Amino acid sequence: MSLMLRILCVGGSLVTLLFITSNIRRRKVQIEDSIFWVVLAAALLVVAVFPRIATFASTLLGFQAPSNFVFVVVIAILLAKLFSLSTEVSSLKHRLNELAQEEALLSKEEEEDSDARSTARQPNRE
């Protein structure tokens, strides 16, 4: 792995760690959601500090260069995270739709009840 890629990995890892910890402090992201990013940044930092790990894995899996291996692994991990987030958003949209429908039904029932009460209170004028 080239020195430039190692520096980029270390810098990216440190920036990611600082960004995540800053967002956790400002309560913009929950700790459970940030664990993924902290682990990814730590893994990049380990690979940058110990490049023989990437060299060994790239040779084992048949990559021509360790940098290709690092890029493919990072892209694959980010795609998996993207899919996970997409399924979570889809689930939340479905739940939001259900809650909106329940709220509409409750509002309609409440309106009908108040109409029925107001009709019952009016004296019969014949």
| Separation between Cα atoms, residue 55 and residue 70, nearest integer Å | 9
pTM over 0.85: no
Residue 111, SS3 per DSSP: helix
Low-confidence ranges of the chain (pLDDT < 70): 1, 122-126
Question: Tens digit of pLDDT for each residue in 81-115?
Answer: 999 999 999 999 999 999 999 999 999 988 888 87
Positive or negative CA dihedral for 43, 46, 48, 52?
negative
| Separation between Cα atoms, residue 77 and residue 16, nearest integer Å | 15
Positive or negative CA dihedral for 72, 61, 47, 30?
positive
Compute the chain's Rg from CA coordinates.
Answer: 27
At residue 85, the pLDDT reads: 92
Nearest Cα neighbor of 70 from 91, 49, 47, 40 is: 47
At residue 82, the pLDDT reads: 94
